[in-house]
């Protein structure tokens, strides 16, 4: 057998994307450099240039990777399936999609990244695709809740999915400003305020 130590290390996409996420959180998109990401991912800057072409290409690759259905829907579905009923499942899925609580600086850097995305047509198109995917996922949970008798038949799954997604985004921003309680608790409260009027209890069935 040859000397394995002399062979180039396989560059895993997951390692690069984790390094980009960390660099965005710590430095923000403006100050982030390819060298920062390369160092964190333990690869050469040249390898990143060869694969992504530029810093913009790397960030586009990061957004595409973050917004794949497998990346965002898998954890949401896993959370949904742990709940006793589909309504609580949706709430758990939304809380899971929000991820961990970010500190003020990290949240501000991620918000700066969102600002950059909204100002760029190609990035914004990816955000729109992601939003449609999230709402379709949430609509599926709500349709399951109606079908199983946990949500009133008068409920509009599409409209409620859109509202739940708006809460998913808006509550995170409000929480970042106030820092009152935990983000998970704030999301649960707002989602229950939205969904409770449509819920059907065992006694009502």
199 forms beta bridges with 151
Residue 85 φ/ψ region, left for φ over 0, alpha for ψ in the -120 to 50 degree band, beta for the rest: beta
Residues 6+ apart with CB under 8 A from 62: 17, 20, 21, 24
Residue 22 φ/ψ region, left for φ over 0, alpha for ψ in the -120 to 50 degree band, beta for the rest: alpha
200 and 132 within one domain: yes
For 131-177, what is each residue's pLDDT tens digit?
A: 999 999 999 999 999 999 999 999 999 999 999 999 999 999 999 99
**Number of residues in the chain:** 205
Buried b (16+ CB within 10 A) or exposed e, 104-136: eebbebbebbeebbeebeebeebeeebbeebbe
> Is the pLDDT reported for residue 5 higher than 70?
no
Domain that holds residue 11: 4-63
Mean pLDDT across the chain, nearest whole number? 90
198 and 102 within one domain: yes
In whole angstroms, give the CA distance from residue 19 to residue 42: 9
CATH (domain of 110): 1.10.357.10
88 and 135 within one domain: yes
- CB-CB contact of 181 with 174 (8 Å): no
- CB-CB contact of 93 with 77 (8 Å): yes
Residues 6+ apart with CB under 8 A from 47: 11, 38
Work out how many domains the chain is built from and give that number. Answer: 2
Q: What is the pLDDT of residue 6?
A: 43
**Of 15, 48, 63, the domain-final residue:** 63
88 and 181 within one domain: yes
75 and 14 within one domain: no
For 97-129, what is each residue's pLDDT tens digit?
A: 998 888 999 999 999 999 999 999 999 999 999
Radius of gyration over every alpha carbon of the chain, rounded to an integer in angstroms: 20
166 and 106 within one domain: yes
Q: What is the pLDDT of residue 69?
A: 61
79 and 14 within one domain: no
Decide: pTM greater than 0.75. Answer: yes
160 and 83 within one domain: yes
């Amino acid at each position: 057998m040859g000397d394995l130590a002399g062979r180039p290390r396989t560059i895993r996409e997951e390692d690069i994307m984790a390094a980009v996420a960390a660099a965005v959180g710590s430095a923000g998109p403006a100050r982030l450099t390819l060298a920062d990401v390369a160092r964190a991912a333990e690869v050469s800057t040249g390898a990143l240039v060869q694969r992504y072409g530029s810093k913009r290409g790397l960030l586009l690759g990061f957004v595409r990777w973050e917004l794949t259905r497998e990346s965002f829907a898998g954890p949401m579905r896993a959370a949904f399936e742990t709940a006793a009923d589909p309504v609580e499942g949706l709430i758990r899925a939304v809380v899971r999609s929000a991820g961990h609580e970010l500190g003020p600086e990290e949240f501000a850097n991620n918000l700066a990244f969102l600002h950059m995305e909204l100002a760029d047509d190609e990035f914004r198109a990816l955000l729109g695709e992601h939003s449609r995917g999230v709402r379709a996922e949430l609509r599926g949970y709500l349709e399951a809740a109606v079908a199983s008798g946990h949500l009133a038949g008068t409920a509009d799954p599409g409209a409620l999915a859109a509202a739940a997604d708006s809460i998913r985004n808006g509550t995170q921003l409000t929480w970042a400003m106030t820092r009152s309680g935990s983000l998970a608790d704030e999301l649960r409260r707002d989602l229950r305020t939205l969904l409770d009027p449509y819920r059907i209890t065992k006694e009502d069935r």
